[in-house]
């Protein structure tokens, strides 16, 4: 099934598509030894993205004064525990921060 993409600047779209295609691996190296690490990398990348979004949202709410002191304390503790768990999981799977850094094309790097 083909999908049509509409854009005002097809040249820019094709350029970004080429950049994305060039950043993808030519082959997927799927074998029993790397499947677990690859899956862990994907899941931890998504968790890190969500964690960073939660952090930014919490900071905005703190700056706007929409959280009570107890809520600020709870959010801080939760984010700290999540960050510590991420460190632990990265060690278990032998991953570094850079391993979780996605190239988002025109948006730049995730981390």
The reported pTM is 0.62
What pLDDT, on a 0 to 100 scale, did the predictor assign at position 106?
A: 74
Q: Hey, where are the domains in the chain?
A: 32-102
In degrees, rounded to 5, the angle at the alpha carbon of residue 61 between the alpha carbons of residues 68 and 89 is 95
pLDDT exceeds cutoff 80 at 88: yes
Are 109 and 101 a contacting pair, CB within 8 Å?
A: yes
Mean pLDDT value of segment 25-41 = 74
pLDDT-above-70 percentage for the chain: 72
- Cα 13 from chain centroid (whole Å): 23
pLDDT exceeds cutoff 80 at 80: yes
Q: What is the pLDDT of residues 40-58, one digit of tens each?
A: 888 898 888 888 888 888 8
């Amino acid at each position: 099934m083909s999908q049509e993409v509409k854009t005002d600047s097809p040249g820019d779209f094709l350029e970004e598509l080429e950049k994305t295609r060039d950043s993808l691996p030519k082959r997927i190296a799927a074998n029993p030894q790397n499947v677990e690490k690859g899956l862990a990398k994907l899941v931890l990348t998504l968790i890190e993205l969500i964690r960073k979004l939660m952090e930014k949202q919490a900071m905005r709410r703190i700056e706007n004064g929409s959280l009570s002191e107890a809520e600020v304390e709870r959010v801080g503790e939760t984010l700290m525990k999540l960050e510590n768990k991420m460190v632990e999981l990265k060690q278990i799977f032998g991953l570094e921060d850079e391993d979780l850094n996605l190239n988002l094309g025109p948006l730049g790097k995730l981390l």
